[in-house]
Amino acid sequence: MRALAIAGVALLAACSAEPDATSTQPNGALQPVSITLPAEIAALPATPAGELVTQRCTACHSADMIARQPPLTAEKWQATVTKMREAYHAPISPADEPAIVAALVTLQGAPARR
Ligand code: HEC
């Protein structure tokens, strides 16, 4: 907490310092900046794995959200799928979980469709 307060004071000091010539105009006005976001992954691959995950997960999540998860082990995906079913009532039968987990693992690293 104390470190945070010190960091906050340091940040305030930095903000009130001389304006940075590269980000402001001579009169001190801010200049617009732009960032480029990655293109959205609109759909999972048109493979059996992609279709299964689309069917079971995209009622609540975008394909992009599913596709951008970090590479997870089958064990971690298993925990996520079980959590989706138990905590969030995803319409998944426990008997279908192994196939869904395998599909999620298969999809990781698959080329994205944009
Ligand atoms: C009935 C809706 C629903 C379905 C279907 C669903 N989820 Fe979720 N999911 C949620 C909710 C709600 C959260 C929590 C969102 C938050 O915390 O912002 C979540 C969170 C997540 C997260 C974030 C990490 C976490 O553990 O909270 C991941 C990854 C995820 N879901 C993957 C999946 C996958 C893969 C499927 C398909 C097998 C799926 N979800 C199906 C509702 C759903």
* C-beta separation of 69 from 75 below 8 A: no
- CA of residue 36 to ligand 1 center, whole Å: 27
pTM > 0.85: yes or no: no
Question: Who contacts 87 (Cβ-Cβ below 8 Å, separation ≥6)?
Answer: none
Helix or strand run (H / E) with residue 11? helix 2-15
How high is the pLDDT of residue 21? 47
Residues 43-73 pLDDT 10s:
999 999 999 999 999 999 999 999 999 989 9
Instruction: Please compute the mean of the pLDDT values over residues 9-23 and round it to a whole number.
Output: 49
Nearest C-alpha to atom 39 of ligand 1 is from which residue? 57
Does residue 112 carry a pLDDT above 60?
A: no
Does residue 12 carry a pLDDT above 70?
A: no
Residues 29-48 pLDDT 10s:
898 999 999 899 999 999 99
Architecture of domain 48-107: Orthogonal Bundle (1.10)
Q: Is 60 in the pocket of ligand 1 (CB under 6 A)?
A: yes
